[in-house]
Amino acid sequence: MFLKLSIIITLLLPLSLNAAERLDYLVEYKGILSGYSWTDVSSASIETRKVADCSDGGSCMMSRATMSSKGYAVLEAIFKVRFHYRSFYQLKPARTLAFEMREKKYSDKYQPYGYKHSLAVIPDGGTRVDFYKLKSKGEPLPASAKQFIATDHKSADKIRVKKVKHKSVAKYSIDRLALLQRMRSVPLKKGYAASFPGTNGKDQLEFRVVVIAAEEINAAGKRWKTWKIRVDELEKGDDTVSLFAWLSRDNRNIPVKIELKSSFGSARFILKSS
């Protein structure tokens, strides 16, 4: 369930903007752990801003998503979630440059500095991804990758490479975070369908997106007109992961709600403020 929650949080990212944007969400769960009633289990926030100087010397967008179960007893007792995800992506041509993920579950000692930490960088050319597993001991992080590391928890100079793997990816592959950027930037309508090459840093993915309905839902104290979208994530040799997203039918295309079902129950993110 936590893995699938992390997939949702990386899809809850805002439209590319010249100014910063922040969205706040409440995460709810319904399943055996909650007596099959909707229960608040986490808070989440997403911020996006323009970065003037990226790997190729041009500008790009950076989105940062966080999720924490602190203060929510149901999830805190089981998973102790602290999730941070940052993605850097170009708009033209649309492609991911890099994405970083830090997550903590169960114990503060999950890593020497408290997090499972990884970084994926897609160099110029866009047909290879370098996936770094990071710790406090190992080889220095290359300068080309260091620029994508957040330093709110530890100096980038002190972060070391435990292991690096190089994988081939389709050109113009995007990560899960950048996927919704694409969706928020196209003119959606009922019946719209598209497929995008993707990667999680380790595997080649395919994202299939379909607009299935126009619906009205309540969130953040108002009634929203939305497009209901189905997103399927396909990976060779693995089960398809599917979720539903409701994007506002206005010029911002805000993700108002995301919902996912699994064998452990259902999870949904509901917009609190925008």
Q: Which DSSP letter does residue 125 get?
A: T
Which residues sit opposite 160 in a β-bridge? 135, 140
What pTM does this model have? Answer: 0.85
- The yes-or-no verdict on residue 8 having pLDDT over 60 is no
Q: What is the pLDDT of residues 186-204, one digit of tens each?
A: 889 999 999 999 999 999 9
For residue range 138-189, list pLDDT tens digits in order: 999 998 898 899 887 777 778 899 999 999 999 999 998 888 778 888 889 9
The pLDDT of residue 183 is 86
Judged by DSSP in three states, 144 sits in: helix
Q: Residue 85's beta-bridge partner residues?
A: 65, 101
pLDDT for the residue 11: 52
Percent of the chain as helix, strand, coil, to the nearest 5: 10, 50, 35
Q: Domain residue spans in the chain? A: 2-273
The tokens describing 64, both together, are 């940062």
Distance from C-alpha of 91 to C-alpha of 80, rounded to nearest angstrom: 35
| Residue 10 pLDDT exceeds 60 | no
pLDDT given for residue 29 in this prediction: 92
| Residue whose entry in the numeric block shows the structure tokens 């929510």 | 72
| Averaged pLDDT for residues 62-79 | 87
pLDDT above 50: residue 22: yes
